[in-house]
Amino acid sequence: MEPELMEDPEQAEAYAHADFSASDERFVSAFTARFASLEPGPVVDLGCGPGNIALRLAAALPQREVHGVDGSAAMLAIARRSGAVHGERLRLIEARLPTEALATQSYAAIVSNSLLHHLPNPVTLWQTVGRIGKPGAAVFIGDLRRPATPEAARALVDRYARSDPDVLRADFLASLHAAFEADEVRSQLLEARLDLSVEEVDDRYLWIWGRLPL
């Protein structure tokens, strides 16, 4: 398991300046393509980090309030600088899951990218999703998936992060080792009583998505 929070300001700045634009855009595009309509209410990004996806959601959904939640003050400080353009429509909340800072059945959509493998108990995420989402809420969760061998994990780092700073390469490798396989996530969802699809995407990612029951 990786550390749950990225509290080192230097590490947070490294992530903020890294170019994740292609994967972030793909994530937001996949979310909006799957959910053409949403229930009334705000959208929440759990584990929002420096706000890359939360800001894109705010731009893509101009009539929605977007909440970004993260336990790292260093990450949220970066998100606040970048998100000032959206004013009060972007709300950033410092909290760790599980938390009572998020109201029960308040969110029309719940998204999260690369949080699952950081949590000491992954079911915490799924229990939070079930608690804070409105009936019929859209759920879209992305995360890495664990390669079959350590050698395969190192090959992915070399393929996709060869020119990245050492701190990002080390974190990417640690994330691959900490991530879950698709069947492990399906077992987590079964335990949490959530009927969501688990989709393997390219050679690195899982997307977990669907709607909460009405």
pLDDT tens per residue across span 19-44: 678 889 999 999 999 999 999 999 99
The CATH number of residue 92's host domain is 3.40.50.150
The pLDDT of residue 16:
56
**Considering the domain boundaries, does residue 33 fall inside one?**
no
- Distance from C-alpha of 81 to C-alpha of 195, rounded to nearest angstrom: 37
In the predicted structure, residue 13 carries a pLDDT above the cut 70: no
**Considering the domain boundaries, does residue 165 fall inside one?**
no
**Considering the domain boundaries, does residue 88 fall inside one?**
yes
| Mean pLDDT of the 54-71 span | 95
**Considering the domain boundaries, does residue 36 fall inside one?**
no
The pLDDT of residue 1:
63
> Greater confidence, 84 or 68?
68
Q: Which domain holds residue 49?
A: 9-16+42-145+182-211
The pLDDT of residue 88:
85
By three-state DSSP, how is residue 44 classified? Answer: strand
pTM of the prediction?
0.90
**Considering the domain boundaries, does residue 190 fall inside one?**
yes
In the predicted structure, residue 12 carries a pLDDT above the cut 80: no
In the predicted structure, residue 3 carries a pLDDT above the cut 80: no
The pLDDT of residue 168:
85
Our separate counts of H helices and E strands in the chain read 8, 7
**Considering the domain boundaries, does residue 25 fall inside one?**
no
Q: Count how many domains the chain has.
A: 1
| Mean pLDDT of the 49-57 span | 93
- Show Cβ contacts of residue 43 under 8 Å, excluding neighbours closer than 6 positions: 57, 61, 64, 65, 66, 67, 107, 108, 109, 110, 111
Q: How confident is the model at residue 82 (pLDDT cuts 50, 70, 90)?
A: confident
| Mean pLDDT of the 172-190 span | 96
The pLDDT of residue 176:
96
**Considering the domain boundaries, does residue 29 fall inside one?**
no
Please give the DSSP secondary-structure letter assigned to residue 214: -
**Considering the domain boundaries, does residue 4 fall inside one?**
no
Nearest 10 degrees: CA dihedral of 117, 119, 120, 126?
-100
pLDDT, mean over the chain: 91
